[in-house]
Structure 1
Amino acid sequence: MHDSNPNSTASVAGHPLHPMLIPFPIAFFVGALVVDIVYRQSLDPFWPEAAAYLLGAGLAMAALAALAGLTDFLGDRRIRSLRAAWYHLIGNVTVVLIEAINLWGRIEDGISFVLPAGLGLSIVATLMLLFNGWKGWEMVYRHRVGIAQEAKDLTSS
């Protein structure tokens, strides 16, 4: 169908996987920022360790979400033709790299890495997540990526 919505290739029973998976790494990465801020205020050594676990879990879940997102990106040329898709892809890869560096620094240098480097990286990653989410929103709500054709038909009635 020529005017159909761009398809989500990675889906289960017609439900795209990427939007189901992406809240997990976002929550873990933002959670790492929150506990970095708590550490800055308390200097309790529990918090940098908690942040390291959150970063590790975030990276693991980001890998799963990235597989689903990349499958969608490569699965439909109309998605690849969207500027928002490219910004979303590059932005998310950048966040994963930032958070991988953040975790590596914590493992390598320990608690001394957290202030200011780890906190700074957590802030930058969280701000980038806002931009990346905006671009993801644009793909779904403006370009209708992964939206069932029936949903489009219902809204145009």
Structure 2
Amino acid sequence: MAPPARDPHYHEIGSQIALAGHPIHAMLVTFPIALVCATLGGDFFYWLTADPFFARVSLWTSGWGFGLGLLAAVVGTAELLAARGIRRRPESWSHAVAAMMLLSVIGANWGLRLIDREGMVLPWGAFLSALGLVLVGLAGWHGGKLVFEHQMGVMLAEED
């Protein structure tokens, strides 16, 4: 399969915020993604069983997802500000907006659970968890376009 055609108006942008050449933002986003999915899973099992254990699971996964999402957002924002070529891509801005919406939703989800651990799981916690999963998909879609279609944050081998 042929590699995707590159836009001649832009050049590849390697990651400006990296550890040993590996983009830190890409490393960090895996955790909030998994934790948003786990929060919805905990809500689902709470709905099935009414076991308070699953309400606690969702409380912890939503809290850690929010905290690690904030960390990923700080690094992603630094990347956006540090690399001018990234800011030129519309997908960068749609990715950033979707990620900010996601952070707002998972922060609200966690906050509601802190107020009332079990009472907020159904229906609002589950609704916010499902909305968070949709926003993870949207932010991931645009982030993936940056990496896979536009080669942002990718180290390419030098051609002879």
TM-score, length of structure 2 as denominator length = 0.89
Alignment-derived partner of residue 151 in structure 2: 144
Of the three residues 88, 94, 103, the one matched with 2:110 is 103
Q: How does 1:13-92 map to 2 (within 5 A)?
A: 13-92=20-99
Structure with the largest fraction of helix: 1
Contact 2:46 2:55 in 1 (8 A): yes
Number of corresponding residues: 152
Alignment-derived partner of residue 118 in structure 1: 125
Could you report, residue by residue, the CA deviation over 1:69-111 in whole angstroms, capped at 9, with x for unpaired residues?
1111111111111111111111111111101111111111331
Unmatched segments (≥5 aa) in structure 1: none
Runs of 4+ in 1 over 2 A off after TM superposition: none
C-alpha distance in structure 1 between counterparts of 2:31 and 2:10, whole Å: 33
CA-based RMSD of the aligned residues comes to: 1.6
Contact 2:11 2:85 in 1 (8 A): no
C-alpha distance in structure 2 between counterparts of 1:3 and 1:61, whole Å: 31
TM-score, length of structure 1 as denominator length = 0.91
Give aligned-pair identity as a percent.
30
- The code of the aligned residue for 1:58 comes to G
